[in-house]
A and B are shown apart, each in its own frame.
Chain A
Amino acid sequence: MVQRKTAPPKPQASGSRDISLTIPVAPEMEIVATAQVAALGEHIGMSRDKIDEIKLALVEACINAFEHAHTRDERLHLTFRVGRESEEGGDWLEVEVLDQGKGFDHLRIEPPTPEQTFLGKRKRGWGLQIIKSLMDGVQISSGDWGTRIVMRKYK
């Protein structure tokens, strides 16, 4: 885990357009945030199924933060970006979820298995696995400043 007091600079993508949204740590606020994914996804002509996948990844990132981050400001800071990889490259939609919480070491989290889920008592803890399975790229940085998850999906 990186030790620093403030969040590192936001990743910049040339030519991207972004929308920022701050949501309170409160029940079902994650669903409010998914409306932005639908709007931007439709704007770049993304399929409904891909939009649904990004929505679910965002939901999982938000509920992970709601439950585990212990944010100092009781808020999540979301940024939605659309852009193009290169002149020939495909359009993408990216969602960043930033919390000012206690941080975590994602490399030390053991992925759950269906067998543990069904035969044992560990039914939870699938959020990161779902995010990584549904998105084309996921970057996680975390420290005592909080956690930033950047999730990208190509059109």
Chain B
Amino acid sequence: MSDACKVSVERRDDVAILWTDGYINNQGGEEIAREAYKQLDSGARALVLNLERTRIVNSIGISILIEVLEKVMDRKGSLVFCGLTPTIDKTFRIMGLAQYARIFPSQDEALQAVRAGA
């Protein structure tokens, strides 16, 4: 399907920025999880998940993001989100993800926060 989620990564020292592009469902969520765990295993301390090129995240995709968040928290790392559409932001709040992970309007603000130890 053409809307399948693609994940690209940029590493800046111990911070990994993951960009998603497309629909985040179970496959999209698993793709993000794979990349996130790869970054954690190679020494990333913080993950910034930039969703500005994603317009739909379904509840299965969010449940996988929650698993990623739990794993990051277990490792005393941090995971922050940025670039959310209002609908994705609202869904993250409905499911409680916003209670456990910080959400920033822009990538710059997200990076500033993780560098400050958010």
Chain B residues touching A, majority SS: helix
Given A117-B66, A118-B70, A123-B67, decide whether A49 and B96 contact each other with a Cβ distance below 8 A: no
Interface centre among A34, A55, A113, A117 (most CB of B within 10 A): A117
Q: Are A56's CB and B86's CB within 8 A?
A: no
Q: Interface residues of B toward A: which range?
A: 20 to 34
B87 touches A52 (CB 8 A): yes
Contact A59–B94 (Cβ < 8 Å): no
Q: Which residues of A contact B96 (CB under 8 A)?
A: 113-115, 117-118
Q: Which of A34, A63, A123, A133 contacts B66 (CB 8 A)?
A: A123
Q: Given contacts A117-B66, A117-B95, A118-B100, are A126 and B59 in contact (CB under 8 A)? A: yes
Nearest chain A residue, comparing its CB with the CB of B67? A123
On chain A, the residues within 8 Å of B97 by CB distance are 114
Which of B59, B86, B100 lies in contact with A124, CB distance below 8 A? B59
A28 touches B1 (CB 8 A): yes
Q: Does B78 contact A (CB under 8 A)?
A: no
Interface residues on chain A, number (Cβ under 8 Å): 26
**A56 adjacent to B58 (CB under 8 Å):** yes
Interface residues of B (CB under 8 A from A): 1, 3-4, 23, 25, 27, 55-56, 58-60, 62-63, 66-67, 70, 85-87, 90-91, 94-97, 99-100
List 10 contacting pairs A-B, 8 Å CB cutoff, sorted by A: A34-B56, A52-B56, A55-B55, A63-B59, A114-B99, A118-B66, A118-B96, A126-B94, A130-B91, A130-B95
